[in-house]
Structure 1
Amino acid sequence: MFGERRCRVAAVPLLAAALAGTPLAIASTAPPPSHAASAPAVLAGSVPRLTAGTFADPPSTVRPKYRWWMPMAFTQDEQLRAELADMKAAGAGGAEVATTTATGPRASDPEFLAEYGWGSPRWAQKVQSMLEAAGRLDLALDFTISPRWPAIVPTVTDVNDPRASQQLVFSHAFVKGGTRYGGPLPTNYRPQPPGGARRTPIAVLLARCGDAACDRQAGGPRMLHRDSVRDLTGSVGDDGTLSLDVPGDAGDTYVLMGFFQTGDGQLRNNFTTTTPNYVLDHLSEQGVRATTQFYDSSILTPPVREALGAVGRVDLFEDSLELGTAQKWTWDFADQWERRRGYSPISVLPALTDAGSAGLTAAPFFDFTDGSGARIRTDYRQTWNDLYIDSRLVPLRQWANERGMALRSQAYGGPIDTPQAATHVDVPEGESLVFFDNIEPYRLVSVGAHLNGTPVVSSECCAARASVWATTAGGWQNSANLRSVYRGYAGGVTQVVWHGYPYLTKGEGTSDQAVWPGMSYGGNTSFSEAWGAKGAPNWPDYRAINDHLARLQLVLRQGKPTFDVALYLQDFGLRSPATTLTGPRTLLESDSPLAERGYTYEYLSPAHLRMPSAKVSDGRLFPSAGAYRAIVLADQKTMAVDTARRLLELARDGLPVVFVGELPSSTPGFHDAANQDAELRRLIAQLVARPGVRRVADLAAVPDLLARLGIVPAAAPTTPSADVLSVRRSEATTDYYYLFNQRSWATEQRLTLTGEGRPYKLDTWTGEITPLTDYRQTPHGVVVDVALEASDTAVIALSTRHDETFRWSAGEEHGPTVARNAGLGPVLLDDWTLQVVSWSRGESGLPGDTAKTTLPAVEPVAGERGALPPWSAITPANGYDVDLGDVSGVGTYTSTFTLDDSWGGVRTAYLDLGAAVDTVTVTLNGTRIPARSPQDLRHIEVGRHLRAGDNTLTVRVASTLVNAVRVAPGTGAAGRPRMDYGLLGPVRLTPREARQPTLAVEALERELPLAAGGTNQARVRIANNSPRPVSVSVDVTTDGGVEATVDRPALLIPGRSSATALVRLSGRRESGSSTLVIDAVAANGARGQAHVTLRHSDNLAVNTTGSPYPRVWASSYQYQHPPSFLTDGSAATYWVSGGHTPGQAPTPETPEFIGVDLGLATVVRAVGLSGRDNWAPRSYDVQTSLDGERWTTVLSVRDDAPNAGTTTAVTPTEARYVRLRITEGRYPTQPGHNTQLAEFAVHSADA
């Protein structure tokens, strides 16, 4: 019978196993294992204690790793050993082996794959060779779980293999009431099963439509009466036919539905010894055993196991799940659903039709009139999550640990409770590509390690699309590598795995991967990066960068993480900070009110509250882990009964609980919903009645409430600001603070750091630890001043230790020995000689054959205020005898300058290089200056190396390789944009401590946008380096078309202190650039000067300089399409709102907002929208405000015609804030997923 063939696991899988030629163990039907995380059997390396020695030279266990791509086993052992040695020399601590396909005429031949494919005997030999080489070099060596992701193995080659990924499909036919149906079941399958796939029956159902016209309905959902559903599975004959008397009468419409399980057909070919290879089932232990059995039989040979044991630090790594769009199912999904959710899903399967890979949609093909569909789909996601954890992560981790490996995993990419899943791996991992510029998702990943008590949270960094050969170390832009690394650290990351290091070549032939410069991931127009000796000229400088990161990672693994509060998160999926898979806002922004007040936090899943370690001691939840002092629930409308009961227990134990906005009033699941909802409301009523439970209207009220509860922020700024984010690691005698400026502009903060002892600066570039002398101790902690450049970091330790590591000294106090300055001031260096060694394709054209040619020296012509031309402008067309337009390489800039006798008394001085692309090393009078952060080229200390008389300064600048790659034959990169390389200046020397009093004047923003009719303000820091107070006068000059006024033209600056002056600017120019000059003169004769370049346009909103204003924002966005793209001046980048499934696009009831804060009020006369015509806003209101609270609508658009690319006049109004209230999008298919826009412009001139 058809119904008997519906059995969950049995006969069909056995046949497929025989076809695969592999023994198969059927999944157990025993009760599922507990979700409680167990302590890992293998830790990802021990944590060395931070000492003066380990900080100066960190051990390999805390050093970054490299993802190491290679074309399967089509490699040479000698080259593999050389590449590992190259990584070691660059400061790496390990590599992660990841295979790709090969190129060449034989690459897809069965004979070639049988010999060189992943899983072949030759591959096992390569694994052995790599492990042995890594062991000799004291490197960790990790392996991706299969040659590609999602996981495959050579033994699963049949779509009907039960270990292959499975999907749920359905068919349907509408029938009228009172009629008779006879014949085969409908075959209009959605989705259509792959060719050759068998259909395993799950259920045949009949249901009555809520609307008799549902058979004519063009789009979903077609509503069904749930109480009318009949299970007809047992009535289907052995021949697959059904005879049925349809109930009702001619006025009723019924639908007959068949539900089937099939292989989903997802393939990854040309990677292994066989073809095709089907993606494995990620929801069953059968899928796991396909991997583990193959490893045990074919890869982990005795020599490999011996080598693995010798290395001792090996991760089995699984990348994020990219399981396609099919709705996943598995052989025991229905049984597990019934066991876990308390009811059988069979009769409610219509609610899953067209629900997609995440089981989430606002427009399923069918749904129920009683509104139960959403709860049913939540139960699907919960079951999916449970099976992924219990049937994949748990057994995979156990198997890896038993073989001396740790399981490292990016546990997201499906309807997964990521914080929960992260506790079931040894090393949870995130990635900068998916998380992009958002910090919050890293917190979801890192909580797993924190609750497990393990030291490593990993990040795949720093892939950027279309950026291979072109990423820079420093900068605030998205392609800046250190910016991406630092953001991960701010979210809890403690290990970077660089993306990546390609093998020398990808194969044979003339493809762009088999000619110079060599292999890269995805080709020469694809993802970054291609590190290694064959790669960019800046590669040698990454030794200093990796040393720096190793010191940071050493700091970030000390002690344990300590947080102020936990945020409750009930969600399945990981998509964006404002809208995740389930729709509501569930993650904070990284500049939330909590961040503005300096509170540290991370996210807890409901599953975490069920862990045995979820206890309260001394008012702290998880006292041995995060030590959270309160839990905050923001607009949590749903909650399971057991979670509410657990929260009530925790509150009784003394944990403060804070509800923001609505209280939970319904349970998420379908089973016994009415009774469960009532019980939830009863428990919540008890909970909110407790004295330690508080409720506030919005998140902005939470910081003050926490303060009243005595919960002090870990790193509290004197003035609320989210510029600087902190990570606190605590041990018995020391609190370590990692501080990160998340802004694209410089910031200054006075912070009160929680902890005891004296403060120390840990210089992660030089390895030096020095005491801070300018601080103040208070009952709440230690007050320190922090100044950070854009996207830069600092580390401060508060310690009661007194040893060789934390040595206290009062420091030397050098004051001026004369009362007046007799002319000592900044020196502009604008006379340079440049010698470039060009890196280009060698004569053979083979991978790695790089010709390094010394070009004739040239004297760059500096601009009026010292700016130097990029190499792209040093061409014969511009009057030079050498052509550097398309040159990559290493440039050596030399300047010889003379300092008068007054400089003989200078003790400290800053060298300001302005800007440079990419990495720099500085030598002054024959002494190499220690490495400094590429985020801060303005404060390079050189004072003790200067002398009165002649001085010689050498600045070596190493470029990326893209300019050479784009003009080399055969690379396919001719369309890549040219980069501007070199020392760009202006270069200045500024005296600090000297015999004479000095004044240091510095513009915190070197560039500012200033549109016609608009305003902006420049911040100028003026430092008095004398121990005595001094009066300072400030004056400004501008070019034509700009007006400037200083807020405080006369200042009294205390001794050894600084003050910030604001220069208000207004502009009339619509294009080009001009210069603002700030002069400061002190009463003691000291003087200084700063310059700001003003970029002019007619758009008040555009911001290409990374300055504080204008500042754009959005109510939701997707990680890789943030609101900053709305005002970056590029039509190629665009903002996308948070929706991912039909029905999440904006509506009048749930509008989306995008807006811009102009910084200062100005008259707005027009707005412009451009780009993404097919997805752009269709209906919206333009609203303005002076305070960001009270809004006035100045234009309403209800337009069926495309309007992107037009500028529309609005009622002229004075405003600081301008926003769009979007109520309808132009999505190609309705209901829409989201809305999109490339540029949002605001104009002061008439349209």
Structure 2
Amino acid sequence: MGPLLLAPFLLTAPLLCSAKFTDHGTFSNPASNVRPRFRYWLPDASVDAEVVAEDVAAVAQVGGGGMEFVPFFDYGGALNSNPPVNWSTYGFGTPPFVELFKTALQAHSKHGLLMDFALGPNQGQGVPASPDNEGLEWELVPFSIEIPKTGQFEGVIPGWGTGDLVSLVIARVKSNRTFSYELPFYTGDPLTISYDEFELDHQSVIERTRQVGSSGHVRLSLPKASSGSHYRMFAFYERLAGYKNLRFPSNRDDTIFDNGSYAVDHFDAKGAQVISQFWSEYILTPELTQLLGQVGKYAWEDSLELEFNITWSRSLPRRFRQLHGYDIQPYLPLLTFQQNTLATQQYTPGAFRCYLDTADQGIGYVNDFRAALVAGYKEYLGTLRNWAQGLGAQLSVQPAYGSIMDALAVVPSVDAPECESLSFVDNIDLYRAFSGPAHLAGKRIVSNEMGAVQGAAYNYHFPALVRSVNRAFLGGVNQMVLHGQAYSGPYPNTTWPGHTSFRYLFSELLSPKLPSWGNGMKGIIDYISRVQYLLQTSVPKVDVVMYHKQSATSLKPIYQGTDLLREGWSWNYLSSDNLFLEQAKVQRSVLAQDGPAWKALIIDSTQNLTLDAVDALDRFSQDGLPVIFSGGPPGYYPSEDGSDLERFKRKLSRLLKSPKIHVVANGGVANKLKTLGLRPLVQVNTNGACYTSWSEADGQSYAVVFSDSAKSTGTITVQSTKTPYLLDPWTGTITPVLVYQRTRTATTIPVALGVNQAMYFAFGNAHGMNIAVPRYHVQQVPSHVLGSTYLPPRGIALHVARSYQASHAVLSTGKKVLLKAASVPPAFPLSHWNLTAEHWEAPEDLYDSQTTVKYNTTHQLDRPISWSEVPQLSNASGVGYYTTKFQWPPSDTAVGCRAHGEALGAYLKFSQVVDTLAVSVNGQAVPQLDITNAAADITEYLRPGENLVSVTVPTTLWNYLKEILDELVTAGQPVQFLGGTPTRSEAGLVGTVSIVPYTHIFV
């Protein structure tokens, strides 16, 4: 079958005019715009530009859409305090970097690819700048001392001279304790965290900043502290944090490049302006500006891995008052603990923690502080977004998570919000939380930094990648940026196999130096590309949405019930902030009708509602949206002093009494949805846990079903009666579904999925697909029917495997067809394999990182086993070339299959795939196999007599590298692993390879 166009599946939502954003290609051959890109780890600008261009060409060769171009600089210097080249000369924005950047853009243009570009070095958080630039990152620094029991104090306040004084606060401490706890540390030994905790009398908290003299002197006279208590003085100073996202030793101070690169203020437009002004002055020549307009896709910034004492911006007090109507300065003592970057500063949470003696312990003030940060962060993102769009690109950022902000509140502020498989731990629930606000706001792209796995460098297997990708797809993500592609050229003080980002801490170092790059990588990329085509050219429709509000994103699974998953319900999450977007409207009893079209909103008792959210829920329910409270009433999300609590309780009580509000016990949501007459878009009835998704485009619909971590058999039922098609992203083919049942409103399709397999269906009009479809279909078949084919003009042929029991197929016409298959030969395994192992090894000179020594050995195997179990291959890596033979037909019993004039055929099945495989039968290539359930109908390749099966299987480099780790360095640094060195991994062809004969029976 030739390439198939899916014109009816094109998305009609407004996009940028540039063809680079609107060209999607076809399902069988997606355009670069929708293909996954590789995060490209550029060591620094000293590298060979020709090699960079070759690396871009290599991306095109394996079907990638381009690069996310990241000037790595050894993670900003954090992994290498003594780089082997002078980063003052080769830093971000220097003339060598600009030339290299131009080369990368030109190479993308030459090969028809698109390029994302980091806003700065390392993770893009900043650019080289003068250290006193007020647009750089600020921090708040706290100090505290005890005031004498007499209540009298005269002297210089603590910390004077640290920075500009923001606030001096006095409070009576009612009780104080010292706490210690241990956290696991990457060195292996736990790290002890100690801090003091102070309970403050809320009535005693008072700001005395104006009493501080110009030299820091203050005189205080306070009432004598009662027994068991004391007064404390808290002084807070703002200063430029001086945090660098690129640092290295330098004795020069001639230009801004000698100081590395500084992180900018992420809570004010000024921070974005520092970045844009740097680009204008040092990078954006007319030629580069033109190239970015042609092939630049996203200006990009990674997750917020900044370092603070307390997260701050100089404009925050002003922004706080505008947002909340009161001043934050008196409440700064509540911000001294765990108010920096939670993900990266867990070992430095703060020296002391304060809380109030009120019901909410002062959490309302903390919530308001974080909300002000969100407002400033949105201003920063909006300014960057406008700048990027002015270059003909868009903005992609990993927003807020890991910081002390609510990521769901920020997601809508980015053109292409990006999450990551590492922090999201491949959790579908977390992905659905991230994608919910994006779907609501109409974001066409939800991106994912995909494939970072701790301890899997050179040891990352493709089935693991596909599992992670499939879980992200089912979570509402539709763009993968693979982590990552290694620079393939030589680099100083670096051994074979070349520059290794993160010093082996994380996967994967993808490049032509891996055996899999030219032996299977393209099949994986094409699979991802075709699924992304489907998901990016359609609008996701989701069954229900859940409320979820946090002041700091925890990245923990949220909904703990299993009732929705069992039946195939899909869901998203929205924060209270999202409920007030212009798209958050109820029409025809659904929320966001033109977007995800959620049919109900669910509030779990574990959640905390804001006062405004109660009003929004009331409004939604009055407009006809079912609102369901699960497990009882939720809690209160406080603001300021929490004085709105009683008002909140009254409003919530009235809401819960409304006849339009539904209250159910834990686990009762699915049943309530049924009683409301609602059904999931894709209903599941299988013996394994399956996730589903649904999307629509121009009259067509897609259904996806994914079997999570186990095999699943059963049925799916979709609320559509349009013609069903099976889409195969592994081969790019589209075929009509021939076995299904249909009612007036729904279609039920049998499914059998392998471990971590996803199946893709389309529902549309036959004339729009240009694919022949029979006038009838099969409604029911027994389990020994392996597949079916429509072969006009003869009709539908069922692939019937051996069975001694009489069985029938039932057609939509009402006809029953007897299926006789007792004479079909039984399935049999293939044995006596010849293996030619192509070894990939380092050269004698380990510092010759460009040379890979290859040689062959041959091995005879009774059955496929891992290289790690073959003594001569236990420490080997490379490519395995396997061959074996079998006789066809396998026995004379096949004659009985011809009683009705039907031919005998066969499937080739693999019980397990370790990496990927390419298969040929009698010299004819079999189309790419789905590595999560590897099987192929090989009937057309068979011939009477002896048949040859050839299988090519790459391995990772790990089993070989493991033996020479002590000799390897990258940029002069040794190999480093967290938690010990991984053991050998499986490699090569393993498990059982079987031939499963069948007979064609036309029905």
TM-score range, shorter chain: 0.7 to 0.9
1:921 to 918, 922, 928: 918
| Alignment match, 1:1195 | none
Partner amino acid, structure 2, of 1:592: T
2:315 to 294, 318, 332: 332
Secondary structure in 2 matching 1:273: helix
Shift of 1:109: 7.8
Shift of 1:885: 2.4
Partner amino acid, structure 1, of 2:842: R
| Alignment match, 1:655 | 625
| Alignment match, 1:5 | none
Is the 2:823–2:894 contact (alpha carbons within 8 Å) kept by the matching residues of 1?
no
Shift of 1:333: 1.4
1:931 to 928, 931, 939: 928
| Alignment match, 1:701 | 668
| Alignment match, 2:480 | 496
Decide whether aligned partners of structure 1 residues 166 and 489 sit closer, same or farther in structure 2, where only a CA change above 3 A counts.
same
Cα distance in 2 for partners of 1:784, 1:822 equals 29
Q: How does 1:757-906 map onto structure 2 within 5 Å?
A: 757-809=722-774, 811=790, 812-814=795-797, 821-822=822-823, 824-842=825-843, 845-846=846-847, 849-860=850-861, 862=862, 867-875=863-871, 883-898=872-887, 899-903=890-894
Q: Deviations over 1:817-843 (max 9, x none)?
A: 995735721222211111111111235
| Alignment match, 1:1114 | none
Say whether residues 1:727 and 2:698 are aligned partners: no
Shift of 1:249: 5.6
Is the 2:638–2:645 contact (alpha carbons within 8 Å) kept by the matching residues of 1?
no
1:97 to 44, 69, 89: 69
Decide whether aligned partners of structure 1 residues 107 and 171 sit closer, same or farther in structure 2, where only a CA change above 3 A counts.
closer
Partner amino acid, structure 2, of 1:294: F
Cα distance in 2 for partners of 1:40, 1:774 equals 38
The alignment's TM-score, normalised by the length of structure 2, stands at: 0.85
Shift of 1:209: 2.4
Q: How does 1:50-129 map onto structure 2 within 5 Å?
A: 54-101=26-73, 112-129=86-103
Is the 1:208–1:225 contact (alpha carbons within 8 Å) kept by the matching residues of 2?
yes
Shift of 1:102: 6.7
Decide whether aligned partners of structure 1 residues 98 and 725 sit closer, same or farther in structure 2, where only a CA change above 3 A counts.
same
Decide whether aligned partners of structure 1 residues 637 and 716 sit closer, same or farther in structure 2, where only a CA change above 3 A counts.
closer
Shift of 1:317: 0.7
| Alignment match, 1:459 | 448
Cα distance in 2 for partners of 1:216, 1:635 equals 31
Partner amino acid, structure 1, of 2:968: G
Is the 2:655–2:661 contact (alpha carbons within 8 Å) kept by the matching residues of 1?
yes
Is the 1:943–1:991 contact (alpha carbons within 8 Å) kept by the matching residues of 2?
no
Shift of 1:453: 2.4
| Alignment match, 1:970 | 968
Shift of 1:516: 1.4
Kindly indicate which of the two structures has a greater share of residues assigned to helix.
2
Q: How does 1:998-1077 map onto structure 2 within 5 Å?
A: none
Cα distance in 2 for partners of 1:216, 1:821 equals 74
| Alignment match, 2:654 | 686
| Alignment match, 2:414 | 425
Is the 2:515–2:879 contact (alpha carbons within 8 Å) kept by the matching residues of 1?
no
Decide whether aligned partners of structure 1 residues 384 and 439 sit closer, same or farther in structure 2, where only a CA change above 3 A counts.
same
| Alignment match, 1:990 | 996
Shift of 1:363: 11
Say whether residues 1:200 and 2:164 are aligned partners: yes
Cα distance in 2 for partners of 1:889, 1:355 equals 48
Q: Deviations over 1:383-416 (max 9, x none)?
A: 22222122x1111111111221100011122122
Cα distance in 1 for partners of 2:565, 2:150 equals 64
Say whether residues 1:518 and 2:514 are aligned partners: no
Secondary structure in 2 matching 1:262: strand
List alignment gaps of at least 5 residues for structure 2: 1-12, 181-193, 249-255, 777-789, 801-817, 898-902
Decide whether aligned partners of structure 1 residues 441 and 418 sit closer, same or farther in structure 2, where only a CA change above 3 A counts.
same
Cα distance in 1 for partners of 2:33, 2:993 equals 39
Aligned length: 907
Partner amino acid, structure 2, of 1:588: Y
| Alignment match, 1:404 | 392
| Alignment match, 2:4 | none
Decide whether aligned partners of structure 1 residues 694 and 820 sit closer, same or farther in structure 2, where only a CA change above 3 A counts.
closer
| Alignment match, 1:221 | 197
Between the two structures, name the one with larger relative contact order (CA 8 Å, sep ≥ 6).
2
Is the 1:433–1:464 contact (alpha carbons within 8 Å) kept by the matching residues of 2?
yes
Percent identity over paired residues: 27
Shift of 1:297: 1.1
Decide whether aligned partners of structure 1 residues 854 and 507 sit closer, same or farther in structure 2, where only a CA change above 3 A counts.
closer
Decide whether aligned partners of structure 1 residues 404 and 90 sit closer, same or farther in structure 2, where only a CA change above 3 A counts.
same
Shift of 1:543: 0.9
Decide whether aligned partners of structure 1 residues 238 and 835 sit closer, same or farther in structure 2, where only a CA change above 3 A counts.
same
Decide whether aligned partners of structure 1 residues 495 and 368 sit closer, same or farther in structure 2, where only a CA change above 3 A counts.
same
Cα distance in 2 for partners of 1:355, 1:892 equals 55
Partner amino acid, structure 2, of 1:918: D
Decide whether aligned partners of structure 1 residues 301 and 780 sit closer, same or farther in structure 2, where only a CA change above 3 A counts.
same
Question: Which piece of structure 1 moves more, 163-172 or 409-418?
Answer: 163-172
Q: Deviations over 1:206-246 (max 9, x none)?
A: 222224x7899996432221211232212222221122223
Q: Deviations over 1:463-496 (max 9, x none)?
A: 111211111112xxxxx11111111101111111
Is the 2:137–2:243 contact (alpha carbons within 8 Å) kept by the matching residues of 1?
yes
1:300 to 262, 278, 284: 284
Decide whether aligned partners of structure 1 residues 782 and 854 sit closer, same or farther in structure 2, where only a CA change above 3 A counts.
same
Is the 1:214–1:253 contact (alpha carbons within 8 Å) kept by the matching residues of 2?
no
List alignment gaps of at least 5 residues for structure 1: 1-37, 190-196, 475-479, 579-586, 876-882, 996-1025, 1028-1247
1:342 to 325, 335, 338: 325
Q: Deviations over 1:303-331 (max 9, x none)?
A: 100111222x4200111111236321111
Partner amino acid, structure 2, of 1:429: E
Shift of 1:695: 1.0
1:134 to 108, 114, 118: 108
Shift of 1:687: 2.5
Is the 2:20–2:114 contact (alpha carbons within 8 Å) kept by the matching residues of 1?
no
Is the 2:127–2:278 contact (alpha carbons within 8 Å) kept by the matching residues of 1?
yes
Q: Deviations over 1:921-980 (max 9, x none)?
A: 11111211111111113x332233223321111111111112232334435569553223
Q: Deviations over 1:8-37 (max 9, x none)?
A: xxxxxxxxxxxxxxxxxxxxxxxxxxxxxx
Decide whether aligned partners of structure 1 residues 826 and 102 sit closer, same or farther in structure 2, where only a CA change above 3 A counts.
closer
Partner amino acid, structure 2, of 1:518: G
Is the 1:651–1:687 contact (alpha carbons within 8 Å) kept by the matching residues of 2?
no
Cα distance in 2 for partners of 1:569, 1:820 equals 55
Is the 1:168–1:262 contact (alpha carbons within 8 Å) kept by the matching residues of 2?
yes
Decide whether aligned partners of structure 1 residues 508 and 973 sit closer, same or farther in structure 2, where only a CA change above 3 A counts.
closer
1:567 to 527, 530, 546: 546
Is the 1:443–1:603 contact (alpha carbons within 8 Å) kept by the matching residues of 2?
yes
Q: Deviations over 1:542-596 (max 9, x none)?
A: 1111111111111112331111111111113333324xxxxxxxx225x732121
Decide whether aligned partners of structure 1 residues 181 and 692 sit closer, same or farther in structure 2, where only a CA change above 3 A counts.
same
Secondary structure in 1 matching 2:244: coil
Partner amino acid, structure 2, of 1:257: F
| Alignment match, 1:979 | 985
1:712 to 663, 670, 679: 679
Q: Deviations over 1:744-798 (max 9, x none)?
A: 2211121111223111100111111111111111244110111111111110111
Is the 2:913–2:932 contact (alpha carbons within 8 Å) kept by the matching residues of 1?
no
Decide whether aligned partners of structure 1 residues 70 and 150 sit closer, same or farther in structure 2, where only a CA change above 3 A counts.
closer
Say whether residues 1:368 and 2:356 are aligned partners: yes
Partner amino acid, structure 2, of 1:404: G
Shift of 1:844: 5.1
Cα distance in 1 for partners of 2:992, 2:752 equals 22
Q: Deviations over 1:1110-1149 (max 9, x none)?
A: xxxxxxxxxxxxxxxxxxxxxxxxxxxxxxxxxxxxxxxx
Partner amino acid, structure 2, of 1:943: T
The alignment's TM-score, normalised by the length of structure 1, stands at: 0.69
